[in-house]
Amino acid sequence: MNNFEFDRMYTFIYHTDMVKADRFYRELLGLEAESDWVMYYKIKPNLTIGVVQDGRGYLRVSNDKPVILCLGVVDDGDIHELFNRLKDAGVKMRSDKVELMETEGKVFFCEDPEGYIIEIVQRPKGTS
């Protein structure tokens, strides 16, 4: 029925002090980390907390602690079909279309019923 399948999940949180964030997640919690322009802290394979420097990502630091749930579609999945399915179902879309972003691949944003932002990503084939 579906022409797509999710293969990873990231939760992005936003910080003003990346040193303190790294100390907490890497040193205190003992999570393995990879660095890009986001610090990725692995919970399990393909399950990660991403700590983003304020001003670098989609959202900004605020008192209500914004969160984006990021779901990755597998390489051969149809991200456009998923976009259209959600849009046709009346889901509030944050993107007008699936966009190709240099840093992530194919991406769109929408909201869940409670208003949490969901990012759907399909990286170029052969990347993870």
Q: Parse the chain into domains and list their residue ranges.
A: 6-122
Q: Does residue 106 register a pLDDT over 60?
A: yes
CATH 3.90.76.10 matches 6-122: no
Q: What pTM was computed for the model?
A: 0.66
User: Residue 63 — φ and ψ, nearest 5°?
Assistant: -65, -30
In this structure, how many other beta carbons lie within 10 angstroms of the beta carbon of residue 75? Answer: 15
End-to-end CA distance of the chain: 25
Question: What is the per-residue pLDDT across 31-62, written as a single tens digit (0 to 9) for each?
Answer: 899 987 899 999 888 899 999 999 998 888 88
Quote the CA–CA distance of 19 and 16 in Å, as a whole number: 9
Question: What is the per-residue pLDDT across 81-93, written as a single tens digit (0 to 9) for each?
Answer: 999 999 999 999 9
